[in-house]
């Protein structure tokens, strides 16, 4: 049996590789970038605009994520499209988020300060709980993300109603006040659903937000539907 000291190079090399992933995640902008890429593929220019970064800075962050194999790039002619490298990356980001919620009181304080009390959110234990209500017509499920994200993957039975469209009013949207509306967006800290619920309630609708978004459903192994015709 080898002396324990001879394993030191192995452990040093191994944990150096683990640290590559940890180092890639050690940036607020890169974490938000992964959250966006979990919704759909994006170009560096798209990411730069969404994150309020220069294209050069966004490219630098992408290089770090590419080096750690957390994102992949797909080339189409002169364009490069970036996306998360796999479901394991989404689950890793969610595990980090869950640990921060559990261990850091500031997470809840920040959410409360910026978003107020967010009572009444829907958070099903199983996908079937919500999808049965949608299929039976007892609730209307609205995806209020940008339509490109809806097309890339949405919850079964969800209707696309981007928040930009909802801001223009509810006339002509064919929404029934007799049925409860559940709105969702990118995930627990996306504010589109909060805004949608507030707007709908102002117009006399019964509305709540869904805490999770399509990446959360994918991570749980729940169904997500792509619809390029939306």
Question: Which residue numbers are catalytic?
Answer: 185
Gap between the Cα atoms of 87 and 79, Å rounded: 24
Tokens 């796999």 correspond to what residue? Answer: 86
Gap between the Cα atoms of 168 and 171, Å rounded: 9
Q: Which region holds residue 191: left if phi is over 0, alpha if psi is between -120 and 50, else beta?
A: alpha
* Alpha carbon 64 to its chain's center: 20
Q: Which of 42, 100, 91, 95 is nearest to 215 (CA)?
A: 91
Cβ neighbour number for residue 222 with a 10 Å cutoff: 18
Q: Which of 155, 176, 139 is nearest to 230 (CA)?
A: 155
Question: Residue 82 is encoded by which pair of tokens?
Answer: 């970036």
The continuous run of DSSP H or E covering 183 comes out as: strand 180-184
* Cβ atoms of residues 151 and 227 within 8 Å: yes
* Cβ atoms of residues 224 and 182 within 8 Å: no
Angstrom distances, CA of residue 230 to CA of 79, 96, 148, 186: 23, 33, 9, 18
């Amino acid at each position: 049996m080898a002396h324990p000291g001879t394993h030191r190079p192995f452990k040093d090399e191994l944990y150096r590789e683990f640290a590559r992933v940890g180092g890639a995640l050690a940036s607020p902008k890169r974490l938000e970038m992964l959250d966006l890429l979990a919704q759909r593929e994006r170009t560096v220019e798209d990411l730069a605009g969404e994150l309020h970064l220069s294209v050069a800075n966004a490219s630098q962050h992408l290089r770090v994520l590419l080096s750690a194999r957390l994102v992949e790039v797909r080339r189409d002619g002169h364009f490069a499209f970036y996306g998360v490298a796999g479901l394991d990356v989404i689950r890793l980001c969610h595990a980090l988020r869950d640990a921060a919620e559990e261990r850091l009181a500031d997470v809840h304080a920040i959410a409360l300060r910026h978003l107020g009390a967010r009572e009444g959110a829907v958070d099903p234990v199983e996908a079937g709980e919500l999808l049965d209500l949608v299929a039976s017509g007892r609730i209307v499920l609205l995806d209020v993300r940008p339509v490109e994200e809806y097309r890339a993957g949405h919850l079964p039975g969800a209707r696309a109603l981007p928040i930009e469209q909802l801001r223009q009013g509810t006339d002509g949207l064919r929404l029934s006040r007799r049925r409860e509306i559940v709105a969702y967006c990118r995930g627990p800290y996306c504010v589109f659903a909060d805004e949608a619920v507030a707007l709908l309630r102002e117009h006399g609708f019964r509305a709540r937000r869904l805490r999770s978004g399509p990446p959360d459903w994918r991570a749980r192994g729940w169904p997500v539907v792509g619809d390029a015709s939306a």
